Amino acid sequence: MERNGIKAGWLALRPFKPADIPWVYEVSLDPALQHFVELPAPYRMEDAAFFVEQLAIAGAQSGQRLEFLAEEVSTRERLGRVGLWLGAPGTAEIGYWVDPKARGRGVATDAVRAVCRWAFRTHGLELIEWRAEVGNWASRRVAEKAGFTVEATLRKRLLHRGIRVDAWVGSLLKGEAL
């Protein structure tokens, strides 16, 4: 994990810390996020603590996940997150979300671009895959703006609240990162 984070113009991407738990909790109550992201329901503070402590922090220490919190450089305001799940050698899957108060400002696109460039350069990745539930147009727009090629609609590929749903899938190859 990049100890000092990643500089991305007006954004700084840094590792999560326990002090981020209340913010993760608040953002995760957003109906749009709950609609498209597989989150526990009802969502509790303990779920936010599990995400930060076990998935983000411990996942980075084990080398399985690379989770970043996106902040505005000038204000240190928390804006969103971008995470990579490291899979087979040379591959990762990306996920991201943005605080509802920060949407429409290019946070996700800029953060995704920065994390992908960094990961290709520092982790020897050849491919980063993106998946989203069909109908999640906001996620798809971010992926496309960040340079991902949407390749297919996969039938019943994602599990959302116990129900199989169709998924869009796309990829970004090393050398394509904007």
**pLDDT tens by residue, the chain, 178 residues:** 445 799 999 999 999 999 999 999 999 999 999 999 989 989 999 999 999 999 999 999 998 999 999 999 999 999 999 999 998 999 999 999 999 999 999 999 999 999 999 999 999 999 999 999 999 999 999 999 999 999 999 999 998 888 999 999 999 999 997 6
Report the pLDDT value the prediction gives residue 62, as an integer from 0 to 100.
93
Report the pLDDT value the prediction gives residue 87, as an integer from 0 to 100.
87
Does the domain at 6-173 match CATH 3.40.630.30? Answer given as yes
Report the pLDDT value the prediction gives residue 178, as an integer from 0 to 100.
66
* Residue given tokens 């996020």 in the structure block: 33
98 alpha-carbon distance from chain centroid: 9
Give the whole-angstrom CA distance, residue 85 versus residue 50: 16
Report the pLDDT value the prediction gives residue 2, as an integer from 0 to 100.
47
Residue ranges per domain, the chain?
Answer: 6-173
Helix (H, G, I), strand (E, B) or coil at 92: strand
Is-contact 168 153, C-beta < 8 A?
yes
- Angle between helical axes of 137-145 and 107-123 (0-180°, round to 10): 50
Q: Give the count of alpha carbons within 13 A of 66, CB side only.
A: 24
Report the pLDDT value the prediction gives residue 1, as an integer from 0 to 100.
42
Report the pLDDT value the prediction gives residue 177, as an integer from 0 to 100.
76
pTM: 0.94
* Residue given tokens 């957003």 in the structure block: 30
